[in-house]
Structure 1
């Protein structure tokens, strides 16, 4: 609509004469997007973007829709006809406008008031099992994924399934997750030449992407591929994870520490032009003796697979060949194509820095750094975290949502707080620096203060200090992004298991009860929420490593932890320097002290502790017992 209508002089003349026009960036103001998308769905029965809302001066909508062409076509009203008609209705039929606006506003208020949590509901493992059965029913056995086209990565599905497999031994859940991750990396949704994943696939086979690349997709996929490696030790998943990091740091990394939002799908007015290759181009730029084999190995042909050009990918006939061997065989050709591509006109980069998406990348980087023993990943995550704390927090401590051109703006939303608390937990796991744990707790406490619904439980989307809109919604559905309420449930479940504090237990229980009815009705729509339930419904593992004053080397114990994976394990490392802070966060650690002047490990299951050990071999035996 921007190019077709808003830049058109005839449309602009009507808009400027008859309306006060406000264009909203839904990434900067997701609260407005949430509220008015619900209006559109209520008025038309459907939603989507671009979103078009016409409202009165009291911000009450009386007309809603999505895309409108410039001129009427195929039964859809065009703006040149629609806009004058709306202006005329507003002037000549004020009673009708008032009636519709009042009805919509009242319906939104009524929906809020009718919300009732499922108090007394106690989730059990059958809910998780029912979700897995639905995943199995919907699974695409050839190409992976759990839907028809278009296919979105939705990495939180794979994380849930991998954790479920580790907790229950369900081999089918494991295979579904791993096959989907492998199929995506073999498809055109993965950028073979420059790395990184596109936003979604327009077809079942993950071949033809919508070429836009999003920071949040790559952050969530980094987490999923890292977990897949952790569960399998298959270097394929590590290779993809590390290449995601290469892409993000190279193309989305801001020089002063944060990460930019996205890269557009199109350049020079054509979608995918930056990424695709005509056969003649490949023959011109690649070594003649290699080009035929290269084209075969990466699915290119004279006819092409995308508007006469080629999206490079791994054809199904090559799936059994290790990707690393194929890329090594053609490394010089891939390098050459990358160099050629860098000379093309790049897609526009959205240089907003969003707290929420940055937090996802910070957490994923820290996690990958821990698993792959990449201190550089952890350092980059730490740098971005420090940048957020420095540039995105007002003097009064209020978190902000967006940074661009030297300006931090907009009060942060609940998802910003939830994602940031999650990121701090990941940083703590990667560094055992208790300051990260303290910040996770602090951001969680602030999230409760600003967003918690004390009457019905759950978190509102925008804060009590935010701009008052027609409604104050709560989002829990896990779509392309996990919802703020689902991540909050996960954070509270982790804090409850790690710190043993009563307030986290109470908030967690109320959070689960608030949305239990929704989750039970459609569990696969809440994969992140299901991960929180895993922390509550299965035995957790708690490890405290106490380091005496004169001994700082606990590395043999920490290495053992890395080698013995438990999806529900919390680790606290307590030294003489950190003891006071950790005890204030986790009071139960007051009795977890070094024995005989040695590094001492305490291994517990759901807070029932085994005898403390000072020998690494004994520690490993206890870890193995807790995994069985």
Structure 2
């Protein structure tokens, strides 16, 4: 008989609905039962594409004896971290404090008043590999609660006090000037962590770090430091050539388990692909290299093909496993490729994509490019374009056959913040590459969120699946969506996008502000009362809500003339500066926002006949810090009326270039405008 998760919408929670564990979703019923019976809560937090979450489920939560013990001694609560990042942030801080590390599945024991007193991550069902068994953990925690409760409660009080400090990261600290010195120091710090052989930062496991690459790309342009530019391009080249990239369908896996990007942890996340698309797009605009454009197009096409709901939203993730085996969907043998492609084509494909009889992953092969296509063409004495065309034909045949395999599990919930990252990527790429399908997809997704993911008061709801939207949205939902709507405006020049973005940021100012403290809280002032109210100025795999607030406030402030937006952005940056100085790797997106704040940041205001087409020409250049506005008719009115005071569109196109409250002489005429755009890039 299904447990109480059966009525949930989260794919992760539904995966556990038939466990013998009497799981509750987080909510009043579970919390009231814990208080009434004075039983501790066992809180298990994970997500659908988490490999070790599946392992712990199969080993422990499907084990009848372990489940019986859990049901007798605890109130068991299962949470999808992607639905409830507010809970995840709080209790992950507790686990990290207790154990020195974190991760998922996260397993934490709470008192009935929700204070943590013991926790960890994955435990095997019985002791093995130097780890205690989950059965031992359960018995030890029950013994502590039953026989040494005062000690457990005292520890919970102390830990809660520590969490109060941890969850307000960056609010206090010595003043650090907001200057280029801060960016320069960060670039040098990143260079010291750089892997000069394989690209990227640090050793295995290796993550892409898109914000840090964006920072280095910008700062290399600002300082004419070719070294930093080369670090970025090496990283992008090696990632796109490695097994972390899907060479048949496009798109990136979450991370590589080795230092050379070969063996991925095979799950694909919406946010990774959105963020990396923007980095590759910027690299293409900065260098003109067609391989970066190809990576952008293949990755966004993957999202449109495999991750796009018919209603417009984008799904969250694809699992690493299929048929219970990690990576099974993606790997190949020589025989499989020969059977599909035939002799000569198979031999060529195997040579180029590193497919051998011995394999490079558990006896099978992850497709990757040890040499570039240009290098292979030279070695083979082939015309490069004919080689490209032949390999593309082979990839298409293999993709068609792969499509008949059992696909990895799909987490088809729609999350606002992650969708906003995809909207931003689609809008930027569509405008820069002249690809209307991406602009259309961005506009459709934005419309879907703004119409279908709101409550009766018009406030955003965090998650949607199968027609049901729920859960009050978080800071990053509001700020990331507002920022994305600015990108949609710059791709379409539909001023209603700016009006919607402004409404979102006004809600942030009204509901998420921190009183006298700089920065915004992760939850609104009328959110469910939790153990603490988190305020975080750092970035993680996804950009932090505060760094996206800075970005949205700066871009909107310049476009709609809101000085209070610009002032608030400055205040957040000033509060984050000590953290940025101490841990640049944890504040990458905040650095990108700081670069925009320091500039030079251009306001490119186009007016008159053909203005919008000329504005799109500017989109196709790497002008890292700029906002773009365009009106063709004096009849147009809306969010940017103030920007167009004294700039009435006429029959001849005009470009106004401004920065730091100073404007150049107007540039008049198509040829002169195109020449000025070229100078700015």
Q: TM-score, normalised by structure 1?
A: 0.94
Is 1:529 the counterpart of 2:583? The answer is no
| Cα shift readout 1:602-623 (whole Å, capped 9, x = no counterpart) | 2223231122233223334444
Aligned partners of 2:306 and 2:59: how far apart in 1? 30
Residue in 2 that maps onto 1:582: 639
Q: 2:615 aligns with which of 558, 569, 583?
A: 558
Aligned 8 A contact 1:545 1:601 in 2? yes
Residue in 2 that maps onto 1:345: 406
Residue in 2 that maps onto 1:518: 579
Is 1:502 the counterpart of 2:563? The answer is yes
Q: 1:477 aligns with which of 511, 535, 538?
A: 538
Change (3 A) 1:398 1:559: closer
Is 1:213 the counterpart of 2:274? The answer is no
Alignment of 1:148-163 (within 5 A): 148-163=203-218
Aligned partners of 2:429 and 2:372: how far apart in 1? 31
| Cα shift readout 1:256-277 (whole Å, capped 9, x = no counterpart) | 1111111101111111111001
Is 1:607 the counterpart of 2:664? The answer is no
Alignment of 1:83-482 (within 5 A): 83-109=138-164, 116-118=171-173, 121-316=176-371, 320-321=375-376, 326-482=387-543
Aligned partners of 1:602 and 1:115: how far apart in 2? 39
Aligned 8 A contact 1:369 1:377 in 2? yes
| Cα shift readout 1:281-305 (whole Å, capped 9, x = no counterpart) | 2222221122222111100100000
Aligned 8 A contact 1:167 1:567 in 2? no
Q: 2:83 aligns with which of 17, 22, 28?
A: 28
Number of residues of Structure 1 aligned to a counterpart in Structure 2: 620
Aligned 8 A contact 1:153 1:480 in 2? no
Residue 111 (structure 1) shift: 5.3
Aligned 8 A contact 1:603 1:623 in 2? no
Change (3 A) 1:566 1:43: same
Residue in 2 that maps onto 1:618: 672
Aligned partners of 1:205 and 1:115: how far apart in 2? 34
Aligned partners of 1:118 and 1:456: how far apart in 2? 12
Aligned 8 A contact 2:187 2:215 in 1? no
Residue 110 (structure 1) shift: 5.1
Aligned 8 A contact 2:220 2:228 in 1? yes
Residue 224 (structure 1) shift: 1.0
| Cα shift readout 1:500-550 (whole Å, capped 9, x = no counterpart) | 422112211211111111111122321211111112222221122223xxx
Unpaired runs of 5+ residues, structure 1, are: none
Residue 453 (structure 1) shift: 0.9
Unpaired runs of 5+ residues, structure 2, are: 1-55, 378-383
Residue 116 (structure 1) shift: 4.3
Aligned 8 A contact 1:143 1:180 in 2? yes
Is 1:540 the counterpart of 2:601? The answer is yes
Change (3 A) 1:361 1:64: same
Residue 376 (structure 1) shift: 1.2
Change (3 A) 1:204 1:332: same
Residue 343 (structure 1) shift: 1.3
Aligned partners of 1:76 and 1:114: how far apart in 2? 31
RMSD of equivalent CA atoms: 2.1
Aligned partners of 1:454 and 1:319: how far apart in 2? 58
Aligned 8 A contact 1:574 1:582 in 2? no
Aligned partners of 1:281 and 1:161: how far apart in 2? 42
Q: Secondary structure at the match of 2:76?
A: coil
Residue 54 (structure 1) shift: 0.7
Change (3 A) 1:563 1:518: closer
Q: Secondary structure at the match of 1:260?
A: coil
Change (3 A) 1:488 1:222: same
Q: Secondary structure at the match of 1:24?
A: strand
Change (3 A) 1:273 1:540: same
Residue 225 (structure 1) shift: 1.2
Q: TM-score, normalised by structure 2?
A: 0.87
